[in-house]
Structure 1
């Protein structure tokens, strides 16, 4: 019997192996990963692990003995160099081939490089793997000069960890505010205020020209002193194998709502999957932990011939200083017409709702807890909501979602 092969020993890959066994698959499973480490979750790499708070074992998906106990062949430090969907084989870096009955691509994504002279200098670091987090954390010390290029989630979480360690932090961002494309001007300002309140030097509307001895040279000629430069300018889905195999690739590996690719025996999940979402009526690719955690169950069921559909409302979270946030829903940069606030925005204890035509597209709760379920219900319902009542903290969200 040919195995079910999973390329990518990531959170998505490990959860897919778990789901296949949970759904009753008794045949062989091969989980192949390029990294040498046991499959792990990535959020702690820019949060608790980067701060030295979260031990490694806490974010490994399964303990080492789980794989053998569940008859999963785990190949770590093993790169897949090619896949042949019609021939039902994958080729490994040593030239050997592994046949498959069904294949899941959980190849994730890679950080974008800093495309300027000096962008490959040894003091320029990126954050994606556990070793990256360890190297960056080793640079954090009182007085260390840390320059972060990019004010996205990774950049801001890294800035918070560096400041908590006593480092001097400068964040360089080409846009006018942090997270502007993700959150819009109304909510992005909250994060700008948060980091300035904690002593971060935020510089917006700047372009990096080079990294050189002593720091980061800006396009206007200014030099920003730096001992370490952390690049957080986004990630690119790892689609090389899929493209070479002739699968449909479009902002990731395109799949249907069952997470099946353009080949009937090949599936995709996690950061690499641009999956059709029934709730939104179009394919979306969400680069967050919840997709890697939850999509594999649907992929596993589909691989086993079940009629499973992935239609969960997107979710992600962040922790920065004393701010904890959860975001539920999906609002594109130009896809909403207003933001409704509920609660104390200056005190950073509120919920923001992105609206379109009176409908809730997404909600973000900041230091307000146990509200994800009603926010999700509001997003899923698609019904217009009275915005005055939505903003009124005296009106239960569950009542509005009802």
Structure 2
């Protein structure tokens, strides 16, 4: 069954941002919703403050990532400012033994799952293939190939079925990825086999420089029912609504009812990556309109209205953010670059003849540089 918040293909254009499930308005007003309220009935002021804290810390990690790249400490960074609510809200709905399959922009998913300061920067610095063991935090290595993780998540979910347990897999991808064959094939497999997987589409309005209006003429969430998958279109800047929607989707999958799909409608405030210049294709007025929908500001306004946002809380969150930022910077600036040949270490668990051949070739190539240096002297 499709959730009633999902629009039919004859309703609104894909660019519509009002016809979404929402529990907190951009001004911080709590909005009742008969479908979502029951999924967050346990969320009190303390829980709201915890969600707000996570979003602040995620934004600080993102700010540090951009700054470190500009300083030459990182090769690249994919900013996620503006998408804090969609990442924190959905990730907080997962159980620790569930398995998340993020894209390269889901820093917040890794944060919620237990990633450490160095994990955010060492891969982007080029020091590691992957900075954490996926099985330590039940989160796959962030995927750069657009949409590939959706297939990985479905495969993992089908493994869960065969193990006879009740974990859930969660695949995160952007609006642009829905134009890839991988995502559509993943939904076919998930629906056909009733796999316990949740698809989380973060519709941030831009697939690099292509607007969502080119990716879809109607809301992306409307596609899932065509695969037999129930879906919901939610305000991706409303952390409470994202938490509620993900709890619904996870419960659906965990109960053996098959996959579910969430479209979180949000906005990428910064560039696609630090190598991108969004001013070449985005209107400044559009960015400013979305700035008024900031996910942190609306929860701050809600907490203030409840008398739950005081100077002591602000200072505590700021101190936590400063401490985390210092650890992230230290991890990047203190990294020791290994010898180039070690790029071939830990590629396979067991020795591999093809890898040894590559190691011999690469070693000879590197040795050629030392010969040239000696000749120059």
Q: TM-score, normalised by structure 2?
A: 0.26
Which structure has the highest strand share of the two?
A: 1
Which structure has the highest helix share of the two?
A: 2
Q: TM-score, normalised by structure 1?
A: 0.24
